[in-house]
């Protein structure tokens, strides 16, 4: 990239109410996608803009980049591209985005492009471009073929696994940095370790993010919601909104979500600390130091907005619906919308609307009640507005607490958190191979997370020769990418 130092620094008219930094997920092709994942309720957002092309114009692209860079008073800015499927915009659109970034980047500002994709269209040209401009790619994969293809299908209802693996091979060949973004859903929820090992051992992933699928519905909408969100002839289509206190049959169970994470954690804490980065594990450890890397488990939120292709800005990627539209960046500067009373209230409500159970919860400092979109269940006392995922979150945060505390103490003594693996091995040796496995499965340790751990029942891929992995941290976003 050309140096920005040739240009005079632009000082910014940040309004007093504007946050010094915030995160925006731009959807240059709106919610339009080239595949048809059954659980993807984002597909239904097409109905917000009927009869339109859903393609970001050059004027909106420039307004977005200029305003985002101008409104940041921090030296690092992330430009996050998402969808729908952003590769539908073609490469020239992103060449132009890079050009505009250089044009508007202020002296001393560094910009990271983050790009979430289903991988279907990735080829030599895309990956050479990503490598050249240091894009960080999020690749959506739900596990081995049998699990991935359950819901990640194309319009002809064919599984997409082989085509995604083709894209992954291009990423590897070009040495592009990638994170795996995996949804946790009804199909893969009981296979945490097999999914994790597939990413680690077969895809060579170093950074992994898990996103629970929670699709809300009401008694009136459940039947239609269970059929999916795409626009199929003869099928009634709903606009997904965060309403209703039921979930579709594809949604992850609450306890299953917790067990899925615990299953992976027990593997990770024995062999992968310091070499594989699972976003929620990092988030949990950092919370011990009062740092909240992810909006979902921060006390408040509201600094992770979504930008539609036409410049409409919404409170959050999960709330792209009429009541949460903040305005349009062509009419009102983005910084003003980000600091608006409406958006501040949205973020503060995350804290203020906690149930009594959450307020009294032992793991509240790391959980913080989870995402407001998932708060549609009853608490143990019958209070509404409690997190549907609570039992799983509580299980995970309680279970990992001792090891997380050990890692925090190691860090405080300038030691590597990876030393926890030796301590865990010593503990395992003391407990012996035939004690109950600490993951809570009910099986003997040796045959669960011990040395006779079962191998994956699923098929794999044959990785071709690829560039070696290089170290770079997942940028600390305020908003996880959607699927």
Place of tokens 């739900």: 142
**CB of 330 or CB of 373, closer to ligand SF4:** 373
Instruction: Count the neighbouring beta carbons within 10 Å of the beta carbon of residue 391.
Output: 17
C-beta separation of 344 from 350 below 8 A? no
| Interhelix angle 390-412/420-431, nearest 10 degrees | 110
Q: Minimum distance from CB of 389 to ligand SF4 (Å)?
A: 7
| Site for ligand SF4 contains 295 (CB under 6 A) | yes
**CB of 41 or CB of 168, closer to ligand SF4:** 41
Judged by CB under 6 A, which stretch of 185-193, 333-341, 362-370, 440-448 contacts ligand SF4?
Answer: 362-370
| Site for ligand SF4 contains 479 (CB under 6 A) | yes
Of 318, 325, 336, 449, the one binding ligand SF4 (CB under 6 A) is 318
Judged by CB under 6 A, which stretch of 81-89, 263-271, 350-358, 408-416 contacts ligand SF4?
Answer: 350-358
Q: Minimum distance from CB of 441 to ligand SF4 (Å)?
A: 21
**Helix (H, G, I), strand (E, B), or coil: what is residue 240?**
coil
Residue among 317, 374, 428, 483 flagged as catalytic = 317
| Site for ligand SF4 contains 292 (CB under 6 A) | no
Of 364, 443, 444, 446, the one binding ligand SF4 (CB under 6 A) is 364
| Site for ligand SF4 contains 55 (CB under 6 A) | no
Answer positive or negative: Cα dihedral of 89, 93, 95, 97. Answer: negative
DSSP code string of 142-179: -SSHHHHHHH-B-TTS-B-HHHHHHHHHHHHHTT--EE
Of 63, 316, 377, 439, the one binding ligand SF4 (CB under 6 A) is 316
236 CB-contact burial (10 Å; exposed 0-12 / middle 13-18 / buried 19+): exposed
| Site for ligand SF4 contains 373 (CB under 6 A) | yes
Q: Minimum distance from CB of 30 to ligand SF4 (Å)?
A: 19
Instruction: Count the neighbouring beta carbons within 10 Å of the beta carbon of residue 416.
Output: 12
Clarify whether 317 is annotated catalytic. yes
Q: Supply 203's token pair.
A: 């895809």
Instruction: Count the neighbouring beta carbons within 10 Å of the beta carbon of residue 182.
Output: 24
| Site for ligand SF4 contains 370 (CB under 6 A) | yes
Give the separation between CA 440 and CA 192, rounded to whole angstroms.
14
# residues contacting ligand SF4 (CB under 6 A): 23
User: Phi/psi at 389 (nearest 5 deg)?
Assistant: -90, 5
Q: Which residues bind to ligand SF4, rule: CB under 6 A?
A: 295-296, 301, 304, 316, 318, 350, 357-358, 361, 363-364, 367, 369-373, 387, 390, 393-394, 479
């Amino acid at each position: 990239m050309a140096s920005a130092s040739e240009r005079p620094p632009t000082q910014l008219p940040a309004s007093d109410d504007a946050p010094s930094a915030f995160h925006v997920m731009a959807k240059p092709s709106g919610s339009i996608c080239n595949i048809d994942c059954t659980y993807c309720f984002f597909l239904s957002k097409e109905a917000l803009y009927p009869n339109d092309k859903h393609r970001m114009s050059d004027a909106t692209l420039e307004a977005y980049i200029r305003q985002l860079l101008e409104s940041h008073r921090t030296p690092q800015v992330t430009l996050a591209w998402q969808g729908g499927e952003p590769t539908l915009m073609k490469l020239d659109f992103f060449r132009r985005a890079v050009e505009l970034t250089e044009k508007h980047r202020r002296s001393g500002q560094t910009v990271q492009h983050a790009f979430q994709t289903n991988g279907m269209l990735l080829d030599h040209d895309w990956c050479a471009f990503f490598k050249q401009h240091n894009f960080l790619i999020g690749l959506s994969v739900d596990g081995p073929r049998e699990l991935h293809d359950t819901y990640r299908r194309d319009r002809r209802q064919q599984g997409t696994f082989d085509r995604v693996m083709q894209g992954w091979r291009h990423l590897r060949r070009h040495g592009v940095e990638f994170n795996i973004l995996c949804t946790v859903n009804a199909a893969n929820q009981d296979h945490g370790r097999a999914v994790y090992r597939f990413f680690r051992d077969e895809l060579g992933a170093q950074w992994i993010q898990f996103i629970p699928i929670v699709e809300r519905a009401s008694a009136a909408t459940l039947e239609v919601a269970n059929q999916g969100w795409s626009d199929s002839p003869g099928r009634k289509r709903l606009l997904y909104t965060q309403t209703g206190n039921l979930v579709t049959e594809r949604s992850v169970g609450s306890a299953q979500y917790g067990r899925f994470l615990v299953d992976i954690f027990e593997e990770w804490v024995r062999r992968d600390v310091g070499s594989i980065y699972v976003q929620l594990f990092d988030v949990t450890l950092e919370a011990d130091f009062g740092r909240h890397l992810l909006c979902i488990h921060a006390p408040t939120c509201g600094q992770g907005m979504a930008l539609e292709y036409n410049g409409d800005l919404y409170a959050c990627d999960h709330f792209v619906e009429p009541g949460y539209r903040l305005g349009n960046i062509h009419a009102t500067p983005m910084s003003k919308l980000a600091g608006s009373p409406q958006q501040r209230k949205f973020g503060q409500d995350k804290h203020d609307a906690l149930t009594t159970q959450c307020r009294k919860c032992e793991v509240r400092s790391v959980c913080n009640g989870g995402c407001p979109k998932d708060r549609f269940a009853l608490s143990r006392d019958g209070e509404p507005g409690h997190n549907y995922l609570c039992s799983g979150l509580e299980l995970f945060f309680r279970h990992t607490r001792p090891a997380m505390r050990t890692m925090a103490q190691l860090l405080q003594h300038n030691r590597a958190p990876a030393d926890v693996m030796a301590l865990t091995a010593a503990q395992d040796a003391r407990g012996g191979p035939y004690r109950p496995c600490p993951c809570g499965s009910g099986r003997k340790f040796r045959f669960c997370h011990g040395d006779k751990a079962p191998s994956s029942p699923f098929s794999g891929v044959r990785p071709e020769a690829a560039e070696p992995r290089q170290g770079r941290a997942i940028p600390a976003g305020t908003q996880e990418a959607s699927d």
